[in-house]
Structure 1
């Protein structure tokens, strides 16, 4: 038996835009179901927000996103989660990095580090902190 874990990000009205952006970075397909699609409308103003969404790429990248309805408390926190993207190909990691930094704050520039051939940290335009690195031989 195998299992797969997927990072699930919560937003307040930005889930669709975030998923679309991540699809431009990592490729793959975007799937979005809105509150209207699922018949779970509690606030008509939020009917077209995302109740379930994901990006899935052929190379294994997966991320899910959801718009927390205004009827629920939501606080994104200071650093609630890091999304880690690790690969063996420096050129591929660099391509992802160059797209993620659009409108972002670079926390740690992508560069060689003491523990990885390449490592970088960026807080994207949606407030999500990404850690990208090339896997080191241990």
Structure 2
């Protein structure tokens, strides 16, 4: 079984995809615009689907979503191998965002932190070693 979050961006999906690919050291997959799939689309430039992969694995799927839909109540949890990688990913993701819990050692991880990025997506960063 594979699980990956599917995140909606209400018109900023393409920008978000490139931000996450840069922040996480990944790549943006094919970007499918709504106009190429639905002839009567209100916004043909809206992203119907794309994804971000890191090390060949899809970690985020995304879309501009359905107009006026509200999506909340989740965080994306990112587990990394080292404290150094946790610091890099945390700083990259929090750019123009808000620190919720500063990245610091905890009883369960040598580096744990929480943030909300500039797109309003909540992240939990945890280092395993």
* TM-score, normalised with respect to structure 2: 0.90
Is 1:93 the counterpart of 2:86? The answer is yes
Please state how far the C-alpha of 1:37 moved relative to its aligned partner. Answer: 2.4
1:39-91 Cα distance to aligned partner (Å, 9 max, x none): 35421xx1111101101121645101111232xx41133xx210000122111
Aligned residues: 128
Please state how far the C-alpha of 1:26 moved relative to its aligned partner. Answer: 1.1
Conservation of the 8 A alpha-carbon contact between 1:36 and 1:48 = yes
Instruction: Call closer, same or farther: CA 1:95–1:40 in 2, change over 3 Å.
Output: farther
Partner of 2:45: 48
Conservation of the 8 A alpha-carbon contact between 1:26 and 1:61 = no
Q: Which runs of 5+ in 1 are unaligned?
A: none
Is 1:131 the counterpart of 2:124? The answer is yes
Match of 1:20 among 18, 21, 24: 18
- What does residue range 111-122 of structure 1 map to in structure 2 within 5 Å? 111-122=104-115
* TM-score, normalised with respect to structure 1: 0.84
CA distance in 2, matches of 1:88, 1:57: 14
Please state how far the C-alpha of 1:135 moved relative to its aligned partner. Answer: 2.1
CA distance in 2, matches of 1:21, 1:107: 20
Moved over 3 A (4+): none
CA distance in 2, matches of 1:135, 1:127: 26
Please state how far the C-alpha of 1:28 moved relative to its aligned partner. Answer: 2.2
CA distance in 2, matches of 1:112, 1:98: 16
